[in-house]
Amino acid sequence: MTSDYKDAFRGTAWYYARYREGYPEEFFDYIKDKFSLSEDDRILDLGCGTGQIAIPISSFVQEVVAMDPEPEMIQEGKEQAEDNNVQNIVWIEGGSEDLPGMKQELGTFKLVTMGTSFHWMDRERTLDELYEIVTDDGGIVIVWNTSIWTKEQNEWVESVQEVIKKYLGEKRRAGSGHFQVFPRRHEEFVSESKFIRMEMWQHHWTVSSSLGEVLGNLYSTSMANPYILGDKAKDFEKDLTETLLTVNPSGIFFSEGDLEAILAWK
């Protein structure tokens, strides 16, 4: 994560671990097969959050190094791993900007995963750094999910977006700053990098969420979390609750989206 977004996820870790969408079993089976992962391999999960990739994928390999610049994420990830009796993850506080000075400490990896984190990084520079620590038979996986800002539009999603704008402004927040939308897609950077072969994978999903799950997911984001809302949080929660129950009194909200992944080999 670049220094522009250093506080983007402050105060979100508890919600992130419990309300962030995880990754489906099909995703892990796919990358295990594509990269021939085995118990002899090491993986770096860069921008690991609270372990949404690191914990499930740890069962395939010898060791996972889970790295995130937010100390609260690392602590929550450790607790989640302990709760799941996972003991082969090394948790390190640090981000993509720290890679140049940590190469000797980190060693080499069969695979580097980045789950809904690559957009926070200096993408060109990060790919250059990762190329040097990926083994010759290895590669990278960049995967991302749809957020409330990019979900397929429907009445309740639009209502959530309007409440966020009401309390935090028209421009999408990222912690104390604002999120910068880049016109170039991830695959353009990968195709121009030193990694020689690339393929895409996509998984469409439909999910139903309770009112509490909608709010918890929002609180896991950089755009509408308790740290950003501050003393507006109670009013925001009350307003959002009333708005959503007006849209659907049942308190159950359906949405669709796409999980997309880029796989690339050295």
Residues 67-122 pLDDT 10s: 999 999 999 999 999 999 999 999 999 999 999 999 999 999 999 999 999 999 99
Angle, CA 247 vertex, CA 245 and CA 253 arms, to 5°: 80
In a domain, 136, yes or no: yes
What is the pLDDT at residue 180?
77
In a domain, 94, yes or no: yes
- Closest alpha carbon to 45 in 26, 64, 18, 21: 64
Alpha-carbon span 45 to 110, nearest angstrom: 11
Those residues with Cβ within 8 angstroms of residue 65's Cβ, 6 or more apart along the chain or in another chain: 42, 43, 44, 45, 89, 90, 92, 106, 109
Q: 3-class DSSP state for residue 142?
A: strand
What is the pLDDT at residue 1?
55
What is the pLDDT at residue 90?
98
Q: Can you list the residues of the chain whose pLDDT is less than 70?
A: 1-6, 151-152
Report the CATH number that the domain containing residue 188 is assigned in CATH. 3.40.50.150
Location of structure tokens 């489906």: 24
Residue pair 239/218 in contact by the 8 Å Cβ criterion:
no
Residue pair 6/178 in contact by the 8 Å Cβ criterion:
no
* Extended strands (E) in 63-170: 63-68, 89-93, 109-115, 134-144
Alpha-carbon span 166 to 189, nearest angstrom: 35
In a domain, 153, yes or no: no
Please state the pTM of the whole predicted model. Answer: 0.93
In a domain, 66, yes or no: yes
Q: Please, is 184 exposed, middle or buried when counting C-beta atoms within 10 Å of its C-beta (0-12, 13-18, 19+)?
A: exposed
Those residues with Cβ within 8 angstroms of residue 130's Cβ, 6 or more apart along the chain or in another chain: 46, 99, 112, 140
In a domain, 86, yes or no: yes
Residue pair 115/47 in contact by the 8 Å Cβ criterion:
yes
Alpha-carbon span 13 to 18, nearest angstrom: 9
Tell me which residue range forms the domain holding 118.
3-148+180-206+255-265
Q: 3-class DSSP state for residue 253?
A: strand
In a domain, 102, yes or no: yes
- The count of structural domains within the chain is 1
In a domain, 17, yes or no: yes
In a domain, 100, yes or no: yes
Alpha-carbon span 96 to 176, nearest angstrom: 20
